[in-house]
Homo-oligomer: A and B are copies of this chain.
Amino acid sequence: MKRLFIANRGEIALRILRACKDLGIETVAAYTRADKHLLHLRWADRNVCVGRRSYLDGPQMIEAAQLSGCDAVHPGYGFLSENSEFARSVEDAGLTFVGPAPAHIAMMGEKVGARSALASAGLPILPGSDGIVETEAEALAWAREVGYPVMLKASHGGGGRGILLARGEETLVQAFRTISAQAELLFGCADIYLEKYLANARHIEIQVFGDGEGQTVHLGARECSIQRRHQKLLEEAPPFDIATGEVEALAASCCDALSQLEYRNAGTLEFLYADGAFYFLEMNTRIQVEHPVTECVTGIDLVKLQLAVADGVGLGLAQNDIRIQGHAIECRINAEDEYFVPSPGTVDSLQLPDGPGIRVDTHLYAGYSVPHQYDPLVAKVISHGVDRSEATVRMRRALEELDIRFLATNKALHQSILADKKFVSGSYGAGFIDDPVSP
């Protein structure tokens, strides 16, 4: 790989650029007219304006990548990252797609198919409908069998949308209609499936890497239970209070399943964890926002590994080479006000935390205007320590130092989470911030 096209923006575009710098790979950065002041454009070898506002125009991205002499494309997360057609077009254009095979992206993007594929490969699946539920009657029958509450999910949903909770027959019928209409509108497909709802279960995910030829390793688990409306806010690695052996066994099952598929590059398998048991939810076929906590505890640069695997160099490591050391926490700093309303604006001055055990991934700088068109995530503060307690106090210190003037952010929310007794004792589930399924 000689020159990589970065088809994304913000902190993840900067993250990819840094990995390229470390590998000596040249970079071409895509940007939109609204985004010409992005930080990583300062250090890219070349920048190409690809449109007015959108990072979703796959053909333009590929055209720009080709014209600028790139031999590979990194999609980051969001935008085109889980678009199997884009991945296929990239490969058809003779470029390397930094991610899984298009067929695997498509397979995991379709939730019902993914569930059954991974169930048959041996992963524990949450009790649910064995596929699409076609009618209200079918849904009612299934719910009666398993017992309420149940979750209704759009098969092509994601990002916290296309999910509703039903606590009884009446709400089930209503939810069925709402979500069918929503899913048709949002995802172009009205397919719905049902799952047993586990109250205040924990969200645990396993990071895997495949070489595309049957070798798969895992880099441990992450705790992602602190969410608001299905959007993760704070993540930890490793999950606390779950025996290493339990996580190892689950992760080994994941690796087995993905080795059978000859899965390639990074992937994350999301699970619910309740009463000592794991239940597979879905698989994300891209790098995750929260990958730095895994980098901190393994010492492995996940984006560099993505690039190495995409380049055909292989994983270069075996399961035995991967050790979990210490504990890491990530706080996602969003430019939003106390009512969770996105608050774009200009950064007048900026004090970022630093010192032992602190890393910040951010594209902010003094003078930067956060545009209103994009995701409100503006910084990820990551702390690392010998144990959960040290990672926690370092994160508290980091948030005290963090000073973004005058952008409204969710810093105070993170500070209250870190001060919460439930957080300190590690006894929390997905209901920590709010009922995860309230509309």
Contacts and interface: CB of A to CB of B under 8 A. Distances in A.
A386 B308 CA distance: 16
A338 interface: no
Nearest to A392: B22
A367 B349 CA distance: 10
Contacts of A361: 354-355
A65 B437 CA distance: 54
Interface in A1-44: 14-15, 18-19, 21-24, 43
A231 interface: no
Given A21-B397, A400-B43, A325 B354 contact: no
A365 B393 contact: no
Interface stretch (A195-203, A264-272, A294-302): A294-302
B360 A354 contact: yes
B356 A393 contact: no
A358 interface: yes
Interface string A344-374: 0000011110111111111001110000000
A300 B301 CA distance: 21
A330 to B, nearest CB: 13
B365 A354 contact: no
Nearest to A386: B299
Nearest to A323: B325
A131 interface: no
Contact of A325 (B43, B295, B325, B393): B325
A365 B394 contact: no
Interface residues of A, number: 40
A390 interface: yes
A326 interface: yes
Nearest to A354: B360
A401 interface: yes
Contacts of A14: 355
A21 B396 CA distance: 9
Contacts of A358: 359
A109 B390 CA distance: 35
Contacts of A75: none
A401 B43 contact: yes
Contacts of A365: 351
Nearest to A394: B22
A360 B392 CA distance: 20
Interface in A418-434: none
A22 B390 contact: yes
Nearest to A303: B356
A292 interface: yes
Contacts of A400: 21, 43
Given A18-B356, A350-B366, 11 more contacts: A14-B355, A18-B397, A19-B356, A21-B400, A299-B326, A300-B386, A349-B367, A352-B352, A352-B354, A359-B359, A366-B366
29 contacts: A14-B355, A15-B355, A18-B355, A18-B356, A19-B356, A21-B396, A21-B397, A21-B400, A22-B390, A22-B393, A43-B400, A43-B401, A295-B356, A299-B325, A299-B386, A300-B386, A301-B356, A301-B357, A325-B325, A349-B367, A351-B365, A352-B352, A354-B354, A354-B361, A355-B359, A355-B361, A356-B359, A359-B359, A366-B366
Give the 10 A-B residue pairs with the shortest CB-CB distance, closest first: A21-B397, A18-B355, A22-B393, A354-B360, A301-B356, A295-B356, A299-B386, A366-B366, A22-B394, A22-B397
